Structure 1
Amino acid sequence: MQQPSCEQIAEFINSNLDTIVQDCSAQITPDQTGKLRDLVADWVRNLLNSLQGKSYRAGEWASHFSSTAREMGLSSPEAFTLLDKFRISLTGACKQFQPQHTETEIRICLFEASEIFKNHLVEYYLHQADEEAAAGLRKQKAALEASASPMAVLDEQGRIEIANREMGRLLKTGSDALTGTDFYSYCTEETAALLRASQRKKTSSQQPLTVDGSLKFTRTELNSRFNLRPVFDTAGHRSGTVVCLLPESRPTENVEVGIQYLEDHILTLLSLPVQVVAADHTILYNSEELLKLSLPGYDSSQPICCYLKQHQRGSEDYWFCKTLFEQGHFHWEEIHFECDGETRWFHMLNFPLTDGTGSIVRMVTCVYDTTRRRQIQKQMESHLIQQQRSSLVSQIAVTVAHQLRNPLSVVLGFAEMLSKGLPPDQYSEAVNRIHRNSLRCKDIVENLLDFGKGTPLERRPVDFENLIQKTVRIRLTPAQDRLIEWRFSGKPTPVECLPEQLAQVVHSLLQNALKVAHTRILFSVEVKGYFVRLRIVDDGPGIPISDRERVFEPFYTSHRKEGAVGLGLSLARALANDYGGSLTISTPGAEEPQGACFIFQLPLLSEPNHPEEKQAPETNISGNEHQILIVDDNADLRDLLTTTLYNRGFQVTTVTSGMAGLEKLKQQHYDAIILDFLLEGSLTGRQIYEEIQASHPEFADKVLFITGDMLTYQTRLYLESTHRPVLEKPFLMTDFLSAIAKIIQD
């Protein structure tokens, strides 16, 4: 005979629903009928839905059933027994009306559906038990925290189940970190033996037991009285012990209050590894973050500052704490050492805590692991250095040569005329022309340096359409101009930009179109909301959709054989983004040429700024016998600086090497030191400055760097880290004298 199917059982239950509910309800005692009858009916209906493949609410039913059972005083075993009675009654009813099937066959068919409800009920009771246990622990924790003495609850093996904050403070760690640890491991061997013996006594008495013993620390012991009270379970069996400590020697009240306030209100707010150390190197507090530090051989029982310094120096006999307590100053240091084949970097801050007499009794140490940050910074440096070595360098070199050629020609020409002799009445004009073109060279170099460093240049408001008409269009030949259909909006188009730079970008976009266009280029400007939009559309071969983003990649070009570098569009997009706009490629409109369509968009300037002309402050300083040391290997620049300073009354000493400069510092005092960063010889400018910091720290804040290497990322990064003034070559003598005056005044 075949086993009945779920569909057959479901059809039978559906046809006899009321009868089955009544049979199942018969399993309920009269005093339970009122509260449980509706739940029985709900159970049968949900079970029927499960057999029919419909949605059912087993979890919701289990929640209501367990809550009702609890209200009626039924234990969880009694509730499961009642559920089994419902299932047996349902099985019997099905057997009564389907005698052709055995009870076992029907039970098997109903098993999967009925087990779903039982499993949900089990899950609910387990969850309820967990919540009750957690609530019990919270109550125990609150009771322990109410005590001003160190307290903990131990299990039968002496492991800490829960401890209050005072216990954590006494044992130099967080209270939560103590959970699961062996309490006896914090005691001396003799004390641990006494406590184990007292706990092994199977007495039913609830009277507390007092034991005098000691707690052990790294280098000291603390005598304490241990008050032990046994804990019993519901069956009357001993299940653990409550221990309360009364240390014989306590820190002074002021320090204790200060430490407690620090830990409760300050240290707990810091998501950093923090440690508090006593004068005898005893650890008084470890934050949870410090316990998570992954350092080989460190177990948080040693001062973290000593551990770090010992690894940095390679000596296990160096106790940095002793130095800190002797000096009593705030201390900050960056520490690095080799660890497991890699360099680890840390920032360490130490600050002292004093008692009422001013004596240092505590030292707080904060540690921050900067290894990952250093690694990322190193990767960035490597990437930037690689970029500097790319072909962009050659392009900049060509640009420098082209831009400087005209003003340098003027400077050299007039200098040659002066050297051969000019009439006195022409001296002034010749000098003015040399000075004016020298300033032009200086501006060109500074602009190129700013471009290389990625710093924003001086911008000013201009009208975009007016800029194109007066700067871009006049560069074109008549034949090129006739090929272009010009469409201007005729509206104000104010934008903030560097005009020469923006004009060069628009001109480059036009030149690209002129190279590929056959008969027509559309150049249209329109105002769209808060933006001015330029469309340049040609009737050339166009750009495939797959290449419309690639053309903006640095060094991508389809004209490399013609000598193209492939940086034009990349730099143009970078400039558009820097101005808050965009440069994209789109599909031409129906009435436009059907080649490439470039859209260049810039934000309109709602309220144009009119920056005031910046004038260099007048420098009116006198040497007054101030001593200046110049360390530079360029004879002409050295003579220029010397002459400028002599004319202002300064006493100047000049040297051409770093070794000679360091020797001069040993012989006399200097009010300012002019140091060339790119000094040639056995010592570089960086090495000289670091030697000054180490051997002559009194001169470190007297240094003024001069350099022509600010384009290099590593140079910029180092000079910024020194916090010393820097003059980039070429510089004006007024700026030079102002920097000297500020160093002397400071």
Structure 2
Amino acid sequence: MTNRQQIARYLEQEREVLIPGLAAAIDTTSQDGLTVLVKDWLENLIALLRDKPCPLADWAAQFTDYIRTRETPVGEAFANIERLRKALVACCQGKITRVSDSDLLAAFSDATALFSQAVFAQFAEPLSRQPAVRRRPHQDGLKTETAPLSVLNAGETGASDSGLRYIQEYLLPLVPFAAQLLDGTGNIIYSSKEITDLPVNGYEGQEPLCCFLYHQRHGEQSECPCKGVFKTAQFYLGEIQYDSRMEMKWFRLLIAPVPDDNGRIACVFSCVYDMTRRKQIQKQLESEIIEQQRSSLVAQISVTVAHQLRNPLSVVLGFAEMMAKGLAPEQYAEAVSRILRNSIRCKDIVESLLDFGKGMPLERRVVDFEVLIRESVLSLLPPDQNRLVTWNFSGKPMLIECVPEQMTQVVLSMLQNAFHAAQSKIVCTLDNKGDLIRLRVVDDGPGIPLDLRERIFEPFYTTRRSEGATGLGLSLARAAVADYGGSLTVCAPMPGEPRGACLVLQLPVLNQSGTAPETANAPGNAIQVRRVLIVDDESDMQDLLRTSLYLHGFLADTVGTGMEALEKLKQNDYGAVVLDYKIEGVLSCSQLYAEITDQYAHLIPHIMFLTGDMLNYQARVFIKETGRPFLEKPFRIKDFLAKLNRLLG
């Protein structure tokens, strides 16, 4: 789910709570008409965030009628839209999971520009059709309040040339940004002195600055957005990067149409704002925040890793030691199975805790909760624990959106709490109650006192510290469940259930038609013989991947450095390239990726990364910016093969 979709979902859930406060931001007096306008504005905003069509023009028409009937200045309409935006930002900041304040501001700013544009069109379009005696007040308002992006003329006749002179002589000198006026052929009519102050190497003023930046970024054959503004009469707001050879610069472009009195686009207004310093500060703050998160959580993660990994590592070491000393041949298969099962459990625990510590959103997938429990939870329970549990499944689809490995750990934490308290019986019931999926885990132990029902979810609280418990399992489980919009609570047992402790997990049902849930052992298609290049400086990892790929019908070449990889690419055709982020040698992974994109552009969709360093900020940013899939070490071979098959189509 994207940030915009996350914001839209929150606004939809909190709509009734938000509307009164938003209406008060415009007018503190209670007005039914204003409340309806604000409600429609919020619904249109939700549709825009979801990239769905909405009756924006209809809302703008109703809004302008509201402004006109109150006989307020035209500029007040745009001020009210800005008040709505600021009030909504204040209501939402820090309340939407995994959405930063900068993402929130960007989403609302883009939508506000569309609302302002629609309102402006409502004010400007009727002017040419109204009698002069009625037209004059609105023209005056547009001149004084929305210049220079308004319909301007010099007198009652509205001569467009005089209007342009008015903009150049009186309005543009007041704009404290780098601004230009452009005619339909791309000639510069006006250029502010701030243009020369911008850090743009090589710009000599022969063409509009927006065109220069766009061509530098996208090539000489690309069409600058200012041409589209002339054609469509639509505002353009966007960001563009420019490589100044010394450092990367970021600029924001605002390009707006300036129509004459007859409704024709006389010219466009282009404003360029240097955002480089702002971007640098933002990246610096992100790095500092990530570093603070890492240092504050490292103690929790270290303790939790030790606690969670003791049992599975003991099983792995024990069976490995027995095999090394000599185990009966008929017992080898069971020993290997136990080692594999507990190794997978160690891998999942480490990945979940690292993802929690580095603050990165994990990849959510659509799964059937019942299938996940059967395939991922039950397979990890030893026989003596399995015998204690009675499972009551409904047999109906229970679709949820989650990180399967993380949700598996949540259920295991609930079960571990029950295993420590139960005397002889645990009952687990999975059912669907309306829009919620509910899992009840009830044991026949002594129960949880009322005064401790919330404390057990506090970090580091435990009644079993002498046994080595840390008190982090249920705390992390509740935090993860809350991230999915669910809850984890202590409740009283229902009639017919054991009379001990009762933990209840509730998750929202996924209402998504046509999406096939994932299962742990979905059958794959037959793999044809294909050639893969693997770049990893660990020889054991090379051998593992080469052998695994050979067993599954692939041909694999392995190299340890970027230069060796380029030599292989010259010699052979590859269907996919697998790059480890940390490779030694002259070329780093990012430099090798840049060389491949320049020389073998057809391979870009067929590149994937391996990394064990996603706590490194530079690694995270680089892999995210490439948009290519990645796997974190350690990984399962079946996960590696699944991603590789998707790369190869």
The alignment's TM-score, normalised by the length of structure 2, stands at: 0.48
Task: Using CA pairs under 8 Å that are at least 6 residues apart, name the structure with larger relative contact order, 1 or 2.
Answer: 2
